[in-house]
Structure 1
Amino acid sequence: MTAERPTPEPRSAFAHFIPVPTRWMDNDLYGHLNNVVYYSLFDTAVNRYLIEQGALDLHQGAVIGLVVETHCNFFASLAFPQAVEAGLRVSRRGRSSVRYEIGLFAAGEPLCAARGHFVHVYVDRQSRRPVDALPEAYLTALVALEMT
C-alpha cells in the first residue's frame, strides 16, 4: 500500500488565523527559516490563541499542556522578514488531549507553505497527571477551532 503524498491546504481548511512574526535569527545559512523554527511557530500560534481566549494562564493556571507528538510537512520556503500567518484547527479532542493542526501561510498566499500538528495532553500543573476533563475555558476555545 502506498501512502498518500501530503499536499498543501488552502486557507479555508483552517478555522482561525494568527500572525506569527519571523525574526532575523530564524533564517539559516540557506536563506530560509530553519526547520526547527516551524515547530516554534506552531507552538507560538497554539499558545497565543489559548492565552487570548482566556484558557491558558501561564503562571497561575491549574492545567498545562504538554506536547507528546509533533509532525510537519514542508511545501514552500518561508524567510525573514516575511509576514507569516498560522491557520489553526482542532481535528481531535479527547478527555485530556487535543490534536491541533496548523498551516503556516506566507501573507496573502492561498496555500500553506507548511502544515503540521501538535498533540497536547493537558495535565495538572502540580502532579503532571492527565486531567479528568478539560476546563470549561479550554472547551469554549477549542470548539471555535473545530471544523464541521
Structure 2
Amino acid sequence: MSTRNPPFTRGAFPVQRAIDTRWADNDAYGHVNNVVYYAYFDTAVNAYLIEQGVLGKHSGHGVIGLVVETQCNYFSAVSFPDRLTVGLRVAHIGKSSVRYELGVFRGDDNHASAQGHFVHVYVDEATRRPATHLPDALRNVLSALQRPVNSD
C-alpha cells in the first residue's frame, strides 16, 4: 500500500512564480528531466528572496543560505514549451534553517505536476559556520510565507 501524499493544489502557496520551460530542459524521453525541477525550486525561492531585499550582496545580513536537503515527487510530465507556475511556501523556520515547500503546476492545472522541498541552512558568509540566528528582516519575510495548518 502506498503512503504517497497527493499533489498540492495552487491555493496552498502564497507566492507563485511563472517559469517557461526551455528546449534544453527536455530529455531523451520528451519531457523535462528530473534534475531541472530542482533548478525551478531554486529559482523560485531565490528570486523571491532577492525581490524582498533579503538575499544578495546588498542585503547586509552577512549570512547566506546553503541547500542541505532536497526532495521531489513527480505526478505528471511537463515538457517544452509548457508555461509553469512554481508555488512557494515555508513549512518550518528554525534557529538557522528554513524548510521551503514547492509545487510545480503546468498551464492552468490546479494540482501539482511535481512537488517537493528543500532546506536552507543559513551560515556566516565568511566562515561558512551556521548562523547563530536568522536576521530579523529575513525571518519576517519567511514568516509571511509560513503555511497554515491543513492548507493542502
Count of residues paired in the alignment: 147
Residues 83 and 107 in structure 1, CA contact (< 8 A), matched pair in contact too: yes
CA distance in 2, matches of 1:137, 1:20: 27
TM-score by length of 2: 0.91
Specify the alignment match of 1:73 in structure 2. 73
Show structure 2 runs of 5+ residues with no match.
Answer: none
Specify the alignment match of 1:34 in structure 2. 33
Specify the alignment match of 1:108 in structure 2. 108
Runs of 4+ in 1 over 2 A off after TM superposition: 58-61
Q: Which moved more, 1:100-109 or 1:138-147?
A: 138-147
CA distance in 2, matches of 1:137, 1:57: 13
| 1:14–1:60 CA distance, 2 compared to 1 (3 A) | closer
**Equivalent residues in 2 for 1:1-148, closer than 5 Å:** 4-58=3-57, 61=60, 62-148=62-148
CA distance in 2, matches of 1:135, 1:39: 26
CA distance in 2, matches of 1:58, 1:115: 30
Residues 87 and 103 in structure 2, CA contact (< 8 A), matched pair in contact too: yes
CA deviations over 1:115-148 (Å, ceiling 9, x no partner): 0000000001110011111112211210121122
Q: Which moved more, 1:15-24 or 1:27-36?
A: 15-24
- State the percentage of identical aligned residues: 54
CA distance in 2, matches of 1:87, 1:58: 25
CA deviations over 1:12-43 (Å, ceiling 9, x no partner): 11121011222110001111100000111111
CA distance in 1, matches of 2:139, 2:28: 42
Show structure 1 runs of 5+ residues with no match.
Answer: none
CA distance in 2, matches of 1:94, 1:60: 20
CA shift for structure 1 position 4: 1.7
CA deviations over 1:44-85 (Å, ceiling 9, x no partner): 111111101111015775111001100000001011111111
Residues 6 and 73 in structure 1, CA contact (< 8 A), matched pair in contact too: no
Residues 104 and 112 in structure 1, CA contact (< 8 A), matched pair in contact too: yes
Residues 53 and 59 in structure 2, CA contact (< 8 A), matched pair in contact too: no
